[in-house]
Structure 1
Amino acid sequence: MNGKKAPFGKLTGWMIPVIAILFGVIVGAFIMLLSGYNPITAYIALMNGIFSNTYNMGETIRSMTPLILAGLAVAFAYRTGLLNIGVEGQLIVGWLAAVYVGAAVELPMLLHLPLSILAGALAGALWGFVPGLLKARFNVHEVIVTIMMNYIALYVANAIIRAYLLVPGERTDNINSTASLQSDWLQSLTDYSRLHYGFIVAIIACIIMWFILWKTTKGYELRAVGFNQHASNYAGMNVKGNMILSMAISGGFAGVAGAMEGLGTYGYMSILSGFSGVGFDGIAVALLGANTAIGVLLSSFLFGGLQVGALTMQQQAGVPTELIEIVIALIIFFVASSYMIRWILNRIKKEGV
């Protein structure tokens, strides 16, 4: 009987994201055919756009960096029973805080760079603390609050830049070199892509999330609250306090994602005409990565590669970049459908017992 259960367990575990990616690619190919494009040529161009040269690889890794951190923010909250849809707003305030400290403070790099990253983390944590507090104290649904706070973050950040930090070009001043994650060595190694040391920060963040949730007593409490609040409360855990802490930590990850953009990719912050999209992509990254640290790392590579490769696909195969967005949407759809597949397979197992 146990031998029959094992294949189902594997299928509903790590195989489902793989199947979702495969289905997304296949259905995307049919859509390309119906649109008059050659899917084989398009996908070859897509792969060339990711792996053909060091520049594209550098850009893929660079685009992964904020996606990893945004995905960790969503995954951490989900693991503790909360839905953080406000990663985009937390990323924006983290970006602004990191750039401000990076430009306004003068310190040696050994102090300045960590301080700037910490500023981004604290700003994001504060933005996550508010919906956590409202959820814990007044039972206000965190999805509603975090969505609204995305818009507050966008317009408040723009207002602050216009009022206090504006320089020609509708942006802030450049950060000091002592707060920069950019590296001439990495850029020359990747044919002068925008790759920076933020990728190392993102890897460390994956380890931190794993360690907190699975190797600490507080992490056990956070996961327990996510599984069952009533049982956790009965066991003497501080359910409300853990809710607030979870959203603050989640916001901290998102704030660091913003810091990576400000200190690494750009070196400043522009007035935003709309959302960056990274925070919302983080939801998809976390979903595809099954809300695990290693899963988020791998799925961010897929999403980052698709974004970078889409440009080459358009240049070499003439396929609009919007079709890649359709493929990404299809992958998310099939991952979401996996929960229904898992339910069906569990029913089959029960009936077979």
Structure 2
Amino acid sequence: MTATPLALTMGDACGIGPEIAAMALARGALPGGFVIGDIAVLRRAAAVVAVADGVSLPVIEIECPADALRLPPRCVPVLPLAGLPRGLAQLPYGRVDARAGAAAAACIRAAVALARRGEVAAIVTAPIHKEALAAAGEPYPGHTELLQAEAAEGGPACPVRMMLANDELKTVLVSIHVSLRRAIEAVTVEGVLETLRIAHASAARWGQPRPRIAVAGLNPHAGEGGLFGDEEQRFIAPAIEAACREGIDARGPFAPDTVFMRARHTPEHPGEFDLVVAMYHDQGLIPVKYLGVERGVNLTLGLPFVRTSPDHGTAFDLAGTGRADPASLIAAGEMARRLSG
């Protein structure tokens, strides 16, 4: 039997998060897993799954995470969260709603509290909608920033980075949810070096204590010797040199249009690198997502607990249809188990 429960947050009540959580649990794919959220929302999601899969899916209210370990498989254990906005289960699917954003944020905060107390092995977060989060008055643009703030417990925030990974490619980002203009400004010696440190330290969790890290350039052809930009010479190369002096196996900067192909690992083509540090959000995420959204997992590196999530969003167009695919959430849960050891 699984020794420690696995916390799943329900995500945005108007999106596919509750459905894919119910699907994953119904298929027995996440043993010891339970959902933090609104029980009426999960009952609505279970009804959608029951119609889609042709199975009856019991939703069981639990009082503490450990209760999830004592339940039979193929049910949906839910730890209800007090104080959530009323009427979440009546909200229409596929709409941005401040109440859904507030509930999603509250579930994340509750999951962090459980993780910090050691009551759960790891956190797997279902998708949230950034507009709904903002409508609820949350000052954080996404999961990563909210998790970082909650992990700090009112003290100085620990440095964190987003990583997107599948079985072929891992990328870690220097900047996350900022405009492209601000992302360019974030390419500093300190920013790149801190990313390399976090990536290097985190890799030991998945069995690579000395990962081979490729660093992508910012500009086309990695600046082509300064012809297309000098950020590589001014910031990225010095950060790589500093990392190497600390014993980190970092190489580059490499042309961003080819480095991901060089790092991609397949049975036919062993990758030259174990992960790639990308300079900004889309540079790093597009290659991984192109290989298959259903296989990708989002990890937050640098937190004092394990947190993973699927690499897709709320999919408002699919919510309530029963056609959402839980594969990425299941992959996130499986990776969370592996990393939490």
Q: Which TM-score applies when normalising by structure 1?
A: 0.24
Higher helix residue share:
1
Higher strand residue share:
2
Structure of higher RCO (CA pairs closer than 8 Å, 6+ residues apart)? 1
- Choose 1 or 2 for highest CA Rg: 1
Q: Which TM-score applies when normalising by structure 2?
A: 0.25
